[in-house]
Structure 1
Amino acid sequence: MKHQIIVSNLLSGLVVLCLFACGHKKSAPKQKVIVENIRDLDEVVKENIGERLSFIADNGGLMEDSVPVLRLSALQHFYQQGGQMAQWSAKGVPAEGVNAMLTEIREAIQVGLLPDKYHAKMLTEALQQVQSDPGAQKDAALWARVDVMMSDAFMKMATHLHYGIAARDSITLRKDSLYSDTVLVTMLQHALKEKDISGALHALEPVHAGYLALKEGVAAFKEKYDGHTWDTLPLNYTDTTAFKVLLTNRLVQGGYVDTAGLEKDADGLLTDTTLLKKGVKKFQQEFNIYADGIAGKRTVAALNRPAADWLIQAAVNMERWRKLPDSMPRQYIMVNIPGYTMQVIDSGEVKIASRVIVGTPRNRTPVLNSVMTNFILYPYWRVPYSIVFKEMLPAIKKDVGYLAQKNLEVIDHHGNVVDPYTIDWTKLGKGHFPYVLRQMDGLDNSLGIMKFNFQNKYSVYLHDTNNRGLFKNSFRAMSHGCVRVQQWDSLAMYLVREDTVRHPRDSIKAWISREEKKQVNLARRIPIYLRYFTAEGKEGTLLFHDDIYGEDKILRKQMGY
């Protein structure tokens, strides 16, 4: 009996502790509070705003629509500054900025953001209610809800437009990462006072040419495909009559084939089969797929993607531009890994554009920021140990002559060249390998004629290649991680063009013709950025690239897409 009483008391105590320690989420604020006298409305709205701020505090930062606020402290500061009075309405009449803010929310995808993150559904319903129901104009709860959600939407959108949604990472070039509460409040107060919500928000966007081109492409893409839906095609199929009918219908839905007035056979197929191939090719060209006119698995998968999914791919890349600083250096090198391109930018102009080859999905080229310091003519290639152990050592153990075939030298820890036939290769492996494999310079070298060095922890660099035919490939994720540059000679000439005292005109060409091994230190180091853009703007349209390393999937998740 005594034990039962003790256990009972303990259980009672635990229940009480749970009630106080765990707490209960505060019930949602009143959804409807009708004020008969319109003169009293603003004061009741004020009380309801206070209730909503308390509810957010007790509800883990979530609002009534389960969307988290940007920062509760910023909202509290804003309403304290305004005497907790409504800022987006007065006596049942919406402020001038309400429609502008709602438009920005509805069209958020055009700046790479999702409307749902800014209370789109609940704000739209509330304002439609005001327009359709005169009695709703006296609903203090409705106006308080609109007020707090509008304020949070502005602060959140302002922050996301400038800094992006995902947290800063190791390559984010911005020194700051968020607006203070004071800055956000001042910004919102000024926008409401000047009645320029849209102007205040768009002034916070990046001004980089790449971002603006992407934004222009998004607008054109949205205009072309907004409201369009299409049928999906089977991913596993045979080239049957049934599949051709489905494919034709899909191409018609996308505007790639116009079948009006064209002759068809008994199965509904176009009698001119070349027209179907042209339609496939037209789609492939628009979505940057090798345009062979054949509806292979990759093309079918792309045909099946809804327009909204392509827009999210563009949005993810707008996010990447927001991680760059407000202004870039006057001169810099930009490598776009999935786009297989390198550009040299000078005063906003592209001075050199080159195809590149990047790392395979297994041997990724890293995203990074660095500074180019020098380049070397006729460089040795010190083979990374990862390649030695994965690829070369097994081949050497089978045939030591492999080293001569690949133009490789064996170097000991003293820097001396060692005869490979004096080494017992069977005893070497990851745990014991006291040598370096070095590929001798010359046209047989994997680095080609030139290597461009920049500081980084990954031991990667830009270089020429002895297999230049690979630049013709559309898929160019083929290296061990370094970046092979097609226009390596133009890049070298650009880097020394102003240093005419140490490097007279045509000196590089002379060194190359004499096959001189030479290191050229740059008088002015140039920033280099290796980035990952799977969508770009080009001539008013969107240019998509494959997500070769799956980085879009990761960033989509971070952004809540």
Structure 2
Amino acid sequence: MGFIVAMSRQIIFSIWVCVLLGACTFNSVPVIAQNDAVTAASLLQGGGLPLAVQHQRTPPSVQESEASDPAETQAQEEQAAEVAEEPPLLPFCPENVFDLAGQVAIQICQQIRSDPLPTRLKVRGQSLRSLKALVPFYAQRGYQPAWLDSRGQPSPLAEQLLAALDRAGEEGLSKADYSPVQLRALLVDLPADARMLSEYDLIFTDTFLTYGSHLLSGRFLPGKVDPDWTIKPRSRDLGEVLEGALVSGRVVDALLDLAPKNPGYTQLRGLLQQYRQIEKEGGWRTIARGSTLRRGSKGARVQALRARLRASGDLEEEGTTFDKAVTAAVRRFQKRHGLRVNGIVNVSTRKALNMPVAERIRQIELNLERWRWLPDGFGSRYILVNIPNFKMNVFEDGKPVFESKVVVGRKDRQTPTLNADMEYLVLSPKWYVPRSIAVKDKLPKLKRNPHALSRQGIKIYNSAGKQINPSSVNWKSVNAKNFKYYLRQDSGPRNALGGVKFMFPNPHSIYLHDTPSKRLFRRSQRTFSSGCVRVSRPLELAEYLLKDNRRWNRRKIKAAFKARKQQVVHLQEGLPVYLLYWTVWIDSDGVANFRKDIYKRDKPLLRAMRKIHRSGV
């Protein structure tokens, strides 16, 4: 009899696991775990955040029926809905146990094994934030407590968790978000009461899973605070990570192992500690308003300038005047802040110098969060465009081997963050004008002069694909709703894409390309495109990409740029392209760089961080 009961429980548990993962089907209808209905929004409202393992997880949709009878289709849909609404089966609670640990397991089970499964659970007034990982974690271990020894006393591993939380600030996270004071209070006077011990265990497990999720892939779903972010974050089974930490007795190491391994993240962590030390020492001085400061200037404002530059490490020499050393220090500061490098302290340079160190710290923390949204490695060779820096680099084995200035999207037509593989080049490309650009930019010109686009070599085609005479259309009656024309610009020197476009297929139809508007690369802030990325050195980039293709050399590529005949050249292997948005980073020379938040993407992320801090999670 005992064997039959055990086997029954094992079968039920196996069914529960596959149901929870959305992998089971009954009568060809996927069973959807009710937990999957928990959205990021509902978790945020409940004071919690989704775990990394949930980021990319979406419930499978009910398969479409092939039945042609509407009544039969409706009946199948109703049946599917009934099956989908059934909660997943969890293992039964322990029975006939008399030791304290067993009694605690029963209490844990009774709190998380409900019908339906809980989508929110408060323990001692605190909302658990990791239910979707916490429930299967306990179910797979038969609801046995994780943070108690055999006598029902707190395990030494609990102290390790608290020690790990003490280091949260080093990662740009706030340890206050994980309630360490309340956790330590639980350890001080924990009575031998099964219910209270179960609550203690649930809270510590929830804290590990939540902090682990934040280290692994950030505190926020990227798309919730940055709608243009399309790169998938890292994911791990955090329940497995916790189980491994409990077995090995290495809780701190298990958590640290979840943080990004990329050197860029590690370097930014170091910069954060440096700037926090500056803040601890009182920050830096501000430069009062006044006339432009330049070499030869003297007075109190120059003294303040020297002190400010010393605080950030841009100036080492002592002195009292705006001398050669100060000029070099100002130029250094301007370069690493993306300002015009002239060695003169004008209004824009003074504003950058006067930004409080606390704001720079927040900026560093925001960009550490963005790092947690990225994969651990970008590959041995890849292209990286940092949008706020207006630069593109090719990296090989972590080192930059090619650099080019770029023009990115206007503030109302922003270049999105994305990752895709470059597959081919189009030499001497035609430009098929996107409908949005045709309506917003070209139609107003046609209304003023039907032949305005002809001067740019742009031809107009009707919906049947036949070229038309621009004068044959009453453009004043055409609007965004009834615009049914196609615009194409042939290859040539006036073509908006120049001599080449570099293609990495993606949902946004974004690509890199040449441009006839070379003068724009002289600007320090280059937000002029409609979303695609214009490259200042397209010939050199094409030559680099085709260097292993014997059919191509610089002379042939240059000739193909001017051939006025479109030609597609496939790369021998795909090259990862990353369009990223960093307002703080450490460059290959170890220099800290800050950039203006050109698209105002830091602000929603900062608001979300402050919301968490205020909630007293």
Q: Scaled by the length of structure 1, what TM-score is found? A: 0.71
The equivalent of 1:228 in structure 2 is 282
- CA shift in 2, pair 1:280/1:149, >3 Å: farther
Unaligned runs of 5+ in 2: 1-98, 224-228, 294-298
SS class of match (2:442): helix
Matches within 5 A, 1:57-456: 61=121, 68-71=128-131, 73=135, 86=148, 95=156, 101-122=161-182, 126=185, 151-167=205-221, 169=223, 171-174=230-233, 177=235, 179-181=237-239, 183-192=240-249, 196-229=250-283, 249=304, 252=307, 255=311, 283-285=333-335, 287-291=337-341, 293-294=344-345, 296=347, 299-300=350-351, 303-307=354-358, 309-456=359-506
**CA distance in 2: counterparts of 1:228 and 1:258, whole angstroms:** 18
CA deviation vs aligned residue, 1:8-40 (integer Å, no higher than 9, x gap): xxxxxxxxxxxxxxxxxxxxxxxxxxxxxxxxx
**CA distance in 1: counterparts of 2:190 and 2:461, whole angstroms:** 86
Count of residues paired in the alignment? 491
SS class of match (1:442): coil
SS class of match (1:522): strand
CA deviation vs aligned residue, 1:61-83 (integer Å, no higher than 9, x gap): 45668575434537866997665
SS class of match (1:320): helix
Unaligned runs of 5+ in 1: 1-42, 131-135, 264-270
SS class of match (1:105): helix
CA deviation vs aligned residue, 1:201-248 (integer Å, no higher than 9, x gap): 2222222343333334334434444453457789xx77699xx96896
CA deviation vs aligned residue, 1:325-355 (integer Å, no higher than 9, x gap): 3444444333222222223334444332222
**CA distance in 1: counterparts of 2:481 and 2:152, whole angstroms:** 76
- CA shift in 2, pair 1:79/1:313, >3 Å: farther
**CA distance in 2: counterparts of 1:369 and 1:259, whole angstroms:** 41
Q: Is the 8 A contact 2:241 2:254 kept in 1?
A: no
Q: Is the 8 A contact 1:218 1:541 kept in 2?
A: no
**CA distance in 1: counterparts of 2:150 and 2:364, whole angstroms:** 32
Q: Is the 8 A contact 2:411 2:598 kept in 1?
A: yes
The equivalent of 1:14 in structure 2 is none
Q: Is the 8 A contact 1:462 1:485 kept in 2?
A: yes
Deviation at 1:512, TM superposition (A): 3.5
- CA shift in 2, pair 1:73/1:298, >3 Å: farther
SS class of match (1:402): coil
**CA distance in 2: counterparts of 1:259 and 1:60, whole angstroms:** 56
RMSD: 4.6
The equivalent of 1:472 in structure 2 is 522
Q: Scaled by the length of structure 2, what TM-score is found? A: 0.65
**Structure with greater contact order relative to length (CA < 8 Å, sep ≥ 6):** 1
- CA shift in 2, pair 1:275/1:143, >3 Å: farther
Alignment equivalent of 2:548, drawn from 490, 493, 498: 498
Q: Is the 8 A contact 1:206 1:321 kept in 2?
A: yes
Deviates more, 1:536-545 or 1:418-427: 418-427
Deviation at 1:454, TM superposition (A): 2.8
SS class of match (2:405): strand
The equivalent of 2:535 in structure 1 is 485
Q: Is the 8 A contact 2:170 2:273 kept in 1?
A: yes
Alignment equivalent of 2:576, drawn from 527, 532, 538: 527
Deviation at 1:516, TM superposition (A): 4.7
**CA distance in 2: counterparts of 1:86 and 1:286, whole angstroms:** 51
CA deviation vs aligned residue, 1:479-527 (integer Å, no higher than 9, x gap): 1111101222232223323332x54675323433655542223343333
Give the AA of the match of 1:162: L
CA deviation vs aligned residue, 1:132-184 (integer Å, no higher than 9, x gap): xxxx689889999987765544332222222322226572435x745253x14
CA deviation vs aligned residue, 1:518-556 (integer Å, no higher than 9, x gap): 222334333333222222222444322222222222333
SS class of match (1:441): coil
Q: Is the 8 A contact 2:208 2:242 kept in 1?
A: no
Q: Is the 8 A contact 2:286 2:353 kept in 1?
A: no
SS class of match (2:549): coil
Give the AA of the match of 1:475: Q
Q: Is the 8 A contact 2:105 2:143 kept in 1?
A: no
Q: Is the 8 A contact 2:283 2:356 kept in 1?
A: no
Q: Is the 8 A contact 1:355 1:471 kept in 2?
A: yes
Q: Is the 8 A contact 1:155 1:188 kept in 2?
A: no
SS class of match (2:252): helix
CA deviation vs aligned residue, 1:367-426 (integer Å, no higher than 9, x gap): 223332322222222223333333333333333453344333333445444443444433
Give the AA of the match of 1:179: D
SS class of match (2:258): coil
**CA distance in 2: counterparts of 1:515 and 1:365, whole angstroms:** 28
- CA shift in 2, pair 1:123/1:287, >3 Å: farther
**CA distance in 1: counterparts of 2:277 and 2:425, whole angstroms:** 47
Give percent identity, aligned residues only.
Answer: 26
**CA distance in 2: counterparts of 1:379 and 1:402, whole angstroms:** 22
Deviation at 1:455, TM superposition (A): 2.0
- CA shift in 2, pair 1:248/1:281, >3 Å: farther
- CA shift in 2, pair 1:250/1:53, >3 Å: farther
Deviation at 1:475, TM superposition (A): 0.8
**CA distance in 1: counterparts of 2:141 and 2:361, whole angstroms:** 36
The equivalent of 2:512 in structure 1 is 462
Q: Is the 8 A contact 1:395 1:402 kept in 2?
A: yes
Q: Is the 8 A contact 1:337 1:358 kept in 2?
A: yes
**CA distance in 2: counterparts of 1:68 and 1:233, whole angstroms:** 48
Give the AA of the match of 1:528: V
Q: Is the 8 A contact 2:367 2:584 kept in 1?
A: yes
SS class of match (2:135): helix
